[in-house]
Amino acid sequence: MNTTDVDVAIVGYGPTGATLANLLARCGVRVAVVEREAAMYHLPRAVHFDGETMRVFQAVGIADQLLEKVRVNPGMRFVDADRNLLMDWPRPQDVGPQGWHASYRLHQPDLEHLLREKFADNSNAVVLNNTEVTSIEEAAMGATLVARNIGDGHQTRIKAQFAVGCDGARSIVRKSIRSGMDDLGFEERWLVIDVLLKRDRPDLGDHSVQFCDPIRPMTYCRSPGVRRRWEITVLDGETDAEVTQDKRIWEFLAPWIGPQDATLERSAVYTFRSAVAQKWRKGPLIIAGDAAHLTPPFMGQGMCAGIRDAANLAWKLALCVKGSAPDGLLESYQEERGSNVRQFIETAMRLGGLINTGDPKTALSQAQTDQTGRTRMASIAPPLGASDLGGLIPRSTPHAGQLFGQPALSNEHLLDDAVGYAPVLILRHRLPSNIASNFPVFDADEHPKVASALDAIGANAALIRPDRYIAASAVTDIDIAALAGIALPSPMLRHEERELAL
């Protein structure tokens, strides 16, 4: 048995694990990824992500490449059994405050290929495919994992300061943490069908459509290229084998397409659940993505939630690995992400209620009526849960936990490209020469578009974390000086750079 020593071991190489691996590698953290599958799964799964998620992919360094493979989503419509519009959820078609569009449609293998290709470019990258973790033990200075190659049985011991389970609903890392799951009360079986069109079918439309039929609800999704998806409720008494027969599938799809229009790419029955793990961390063991929470798909936020986990966790792990922050910083991970993800899950459940019952009364709590009388849903952007970041900031800091926008700078480059995966101080006016800042500074005097991002929160200054959420804000000069002096290190500093900076 050979031994590999790393800073962080990641179990699972899906979008959450691959994003976390890339962000950690950017910070100079030594990473090993263990993935049970021998090769990347080539069929569709997730089909949507939002502007905040694209901003994380920007931090990874794949956003421009990914943009060539996705399509902007115009929105979602909810119709009743007679195809009458119940509710509209339009998504802006212009670039939004995050520096990207609000909603994208994707083919998940395209994303995973880019993430894995990017990680492979790092000298700190170790990937063990076709390998399963057989044991996890907490050690004096971290965790020890034993992994076995499924093909030849060869075993590898991985020693790490931290081990993160991005290994899905049946997570072995969550079992090692001994965390139960809070069941939020949603469980339904749905048949997911992906097809490849043989010819152009513009009549199917570009909007996603939720068919709120109380007997058999369905969903239609427009994916990039010739891909289209239907999701169909499986009724009580119907077996998986029955509903996945080709003949039955074409019966389901008959109102829209037939075998002359498309070929079946994939069909599978999924059980959609809503649940949140009770404990996301135990010592060096941490969970993220589906290992930590499960959501119905009706908001398209399942993968997004895992990407948010990765963005929140990576900079904290990097600082703790390098000794730049107290271990208590990692306690803020569940404090912040737990309440945020619950709000997305609960909203998805309310939408599921509309889709399944045809009764909008409960489900439309997020909706509003426009001047034409049409019912519209407003997108949500819940803040992070309250945290003092392990004592790095006061817990009652104004605007802490809100997502900050990404303005363009005077050279038209986006803010994050200039900053990197690091904290930054945003000011309305130049920082006085007698005030020193622990962070890079961008002000609206030099970069006028920065002002609108500050206007959105009603502040004259904001300290932005590496994950683009606000650490603290200020209005007065005295508070701005205090903000500039907060001891929030950059995770981008390598070990040797940190020693030189001290």
DSSP state of 44: -
3 state SS of 412: coil
| DSSP three-state, residue 143 | strand
Q: Which residues lie closer than 8 Å to 289 by C-beta, 6 or more apart?
A: 12, 14, 15, 16, 17, 166, 168, 305, 306, 309, 310
Which pTM was predicted? 0.94
End-to-end CA distance of the chain: 39
Planar angle of CA 445, 446, 452, nearest 5 degrees:
65
- Domain 2-70+106-182+274-336 and domain 393-486, same fold? Reply is no
H or E segment and range at residue 473? strand 470-474
Are 48 and 300 within 8 A, CB to CB? Answer: yes
In terms of Cβ atoms closer than 10 Å to its own Cβ (0-12, 13-18, 19+), residue 94 is exposed
Q: Which CATH architecture has domain 2-70+106-182+274-336?
A: 3-Layer(bba) Sandwich (3.50)
Supply φ then ψ for residue 394, to 5 degrees: -65, 145
Three-state DSSP class for residue 488: coil
CATH architecture of 393-486: 3-Layer(aba) Sandwich (3.40)
For the chain, what are the domain ranges?
Answer: 2-70+106-182+274-336, 393-486
Successive 10-residue mean pLDDT values, the chain, 502 residues: 96 99 97 96 90 98 98 94 89 94 97 98 93 94 96 97 98 98 96 97 96 92 97 96 98 98 97 98 98 95 98 99 95 98 95 72 52 71 95 88 97 97 97 93 97 96 98 95 95 56 36
Phi-psi domain of 360 (left: phi exceeds 0; alpha: psi -120 through 50; beta: other): alpha
For 336, the 3-state DSSP assignment is helix
Q: Which of 202, 209, 133, 215 is nearest to 174 (CA)?
A: 133
How many other CB atoms sit within 10 Å of the CB of residue 407?
20
Q: Tell me the two tokens of residue 52.
A: 């905040």
- Rg, C-alpha atoms of the chain: 23
Q: How far is CA 245 from CA 238, 251, 268, 410, in A?
A: 12, 10, 10, 57
